[in-house]
Amino acid sequence: MKTNLLSLFVLGTFLANAQTFVSTSPENKNVILEEFTGISCGYCPDGHAIGQALHDANPNDVFLINIHTGGYANPQGPGTDFNTNFGSAIASQSGLAGYPAGTVNRHQFSMSQGSGTAMSRGDWGSAASQILAETSPVNVGVQASVDMATNTLTVDVEVYYTGTQTVSSNKLNVAIVQNGILGPQSGGASYNPSAIDPATGLYTHQHMLRHMLTGQWGETISNISPGTLYTFTDTWTIPNQISGYPLSPTIDPTNIAIVAFVSEGQQEILSGTEVYPSLVFANAYDANLINVSSTNIMCTPTTDLTIDFKNYGNTNLTSLDVNYSINGGTSTTYPWTGNLGPGASATVTIPQISVTAIATNSVDVTLANPNGNTDQNTTNNYLSGSFEGMYNATAGQVSIDVTTDNYPSETTWKLQENGITIATGGPYSSSGSPQTTAYATITPGNCYTFIMEDSYGDGLLSPGNYKVKDVNNGTIAWGGTNSPNGNFTNEDLTYFESNAGVAPSWNCDGQGNCQDPGDGSGQYNSLSSCQSACVTTLIDNQDTESITIFPNPVKEQLTIKGQIKSVEIYDAFGKLVLTSTKNIINTTNLSNGIYMINIKSNNLTTTKRITVTK
């Protein structure tokens, strides 16, 4: 980090010989609106819309920082943890009494909640108007750039003092926010429908706090005399995601903005500004893979693979090899052609890929040969993902058990056979209690969809949950509070097929996974016996050490037999989610899905795939 203070004594010489980008003329204050929000907060999208309208009406004077924190910000799966190390402390000093709430320049207004600075969303507009009419003792200017080859952000800030203050020092704060993050959001369709992405149905989150470059409460500025110029320079190597938050979304350097503001301390922001960094593309050929997703198996054994990538090269990208494989099988190349300028993105969808499906399937994607040349940055060419296979339910009577939350009138469900609804339930009237078990009949050879719905968009809150079981008491669908897959927002869909009432059986696929073929032809009569036979044994030929992991799939506890030094477990997106030096590993905190496990022994690191099912 590099900072520099230019005093009044030398400022005249500096201005005569150098170009500053901050204004040196007195200006009115700008507004920094910090909104406290969360994905399970049904009214928060209304706050997002109000804040955005204020910004749009004053694009050069009002700047937004959306801070996800508190219980409403609890994640709902991979890519949905929008918390940071900084949000909780900022929210705590605001005195907020509910969500959404926000502070305007961390100033205490007459309409603030209690003795804090947080206000209800209906008060933000009048508070902003009051701040914008006040003279500021300080001007803030900021410039920034991102080296796309190294993911390095460089930020330069200039602070110029035009008036006097009653305090003796200030704080410079530099926040990094990200736009265009897709994810869940309760109440989005009702209060901010324009934020719903039409392609995915997900909510588009904007101005989301990702990092504070100057730490929790900023860098101290000691000399704040009129005519003083303070300069600040720092760099940040942008990580793939927020450290310590394995479920956080990817940080996209092409979609970040820098908000710099000066405060009297931890409170009372004097003024600030925002800039979108310029992008520097150092390599000629650099394809960046940013997302991989596959549709779940729905009655037919095919999946649609969607791949998103960007051109990080400084020349237009016109051709690219997209290599993919399913469940570790043979790699297939999809030759993409088009015309992407530097920083531009493209989406490729490869439909109806045939799959020999298992309960949880993996997909691996690698980009290669941009414009027929060697990619100059291979660190961003690979991603993996997962998708679900079909559940085979035994034909006959299925049971549907629902425990409502405290808003039972929001809860409904339906069961569809080949797309036609054959049974429904709800809305309910009794709060927080088990409802009468409902029943429906499924027949052999048909495709079914169970759809759990919440009209408000916050799923089944505690103690709400639901479970669907077949005639053999096998769980078909399970969701809501404490379910393996976590809560949902508006709806939760489960697809399954019905067999002819044959007894369950399982086969081992040779990769440590067990699957029920659905026709009774499986080699093993119980899942546990199949899992025992499916144990993966790894032999270190150099050390003649035998390393065995079991069970696989694993539910709560993974055992490793053999001499090990350390174990690392990575999720389907390549993020490190668990480390250990023990032979017995607790996996209860891992979500359902496929993981890669690196087992380090004396002279060898062995990598295998495990499946977590609960």
Tell which residue, 595, 598, 596, has the closest CA to residue 612: 595
Of residues 433 and 160, the one with the higher pLDDT is: 160
Q: What is the mean pLDDT of residues 202-213?
A: 97
Residue 71 domain flag: yes
Indicate if 353 and 206 belong to the same structural domain.
no
CATH of the domain at 584: 2.60.40.3080
pLDDT at 290 over 90: no
Element containing residue 50 per DSSP (H, E): helix 44-57
Q: State the pTM of this model.
A: 0.68
Indicate if 182 and 305 belong to the same structural domain.
no
Task: Give the range with max mean pLDDT: 69-78, 89-98, 559-568.
Answer: 89-98
Position 514 scores a pLDDT of: 62
Residue 218 domain flag: yes
Residue 505 domain flag: no
Q: Which residue, 448, 478, 499, sits at the end of a domain?
A: 499
Q: What is the mean pLDDT of residues 370-387?
A: 91
Q: Which residue, 364, 389, 414, sits at the end of a domain?
A: 389
Question: In the structure encoding, which two tokens stand for residue 177, read together?
Answer: 């926010």
CATH of the domain at 268: 2.60.40.10
Element containing residue 531 per DSSP (H, E): helix 527-533
Q: Contact at 8 Å (CB) between 255 and 202?
A: no
Indicate if 582 and 473 belong to the same structural domain.
no
Report how far residue 137's alpha carbon sits from residue 144's, in angstroms, rounded to the nearest whole number: 24
Residue 335 domain flag: yes
Indicate if 69 and 196 belong to the same structural domain.
yes
Report how far residue 391's alpha carbon sits from residue 299's, in angstroms, rounded to the nearest whole number: 9
Indicate if 398 and 383 belong to the same structural domain.
no
Tell which residue, 223, 248, 251, 250, has the closest CA to residue 236: 251
Residue 274 domain flag: yes
Tell which residue, 70, 79, 76, 77, has the closest CA to residue 44: 70
- Give per-residue pLDDT as tens, 463-503: 999 999 988 888 888 888 877 666 787 888 888 888 765 56
Residue 114 domain flag: yes
Distances (CA, A) of 388 to 94, 302, 414, 536, 554: 43, 11, 21, 22, 16
Indicate if 142 and 254 belong to the same structural domain.
yes
Question: In the structure encoding, which two tokens stand for residue 583, read together?
Answer: 């032979």
Report how far residue 254's alpha carbon sits from residue 571's, in angstroms, rounded to the nearest whole number: 25
Crossing angle for the helix pair 44-57 and 124-132, to the nearest 10 degrees: 30
Q: Contact at 8 Å (CB) between 183 and 203?
A: yes
Position 7 scores a pLDDT of: 43
Position 573 scores a pLDDT of: 53
Indicate if 148 and 38 belong to the same structural domain.
yes
DSSP string, 99-158: SSEEEETT---TTSSTTSS-EEGGGHHHHHHHHHTSEESEEEEEEEEEETTTTEEEEEEE
Query: Of the ranges 2-6, 214-218, 304-308, which one carries the lowest mean pLDDT score?
Result: 2-6
Element containing residue 384 per DSSP (H, E): strand 382-388
Indicate if 143 and 44 belong to the same structural domain.
yes
Indicate if 481 and 551 belong to the same structural domain.
no
Total count of domains within the chain: 4
Indicate if 126 and 69 belong to the same structural domain.
yes
Residue 162 domain flag: yes
Indicate if 15 and 126 belong to the same structural domain.
yes
Residue with tokens 């090269």: 313
* Mean pLDDT of the residues in the chain: 87
pLDDT at 520 over 70: no
Position 114 scores a pLDDT of: 74
Of residues 423 and 497, the one with the higher pLDDT is: 423
Position 123 scores a pLDDT of: 96
Q: Contact at 8 Å (CB) between 237 and 154?
A: no
Residues above pLDDT 90, as percent of the chain: 57
33, amino acid identity: L
Q: Which residue, 478, 499, 520, sits at the end of a domain?
A: 499
pLDDT at 322 over 50: yes
Tell me which residue range forms the domain holding 608: 535-612
Residue 384 domain flag: yes
Position 311 scores a pLDDT of: 96
Q: What is the mean pLDDT of residues 385-404?
A: 87
Q: What is the mean pLDDT of residues 334-342?
A: 95
Indicate if 307 and 201 belong to the same structural domain.
no
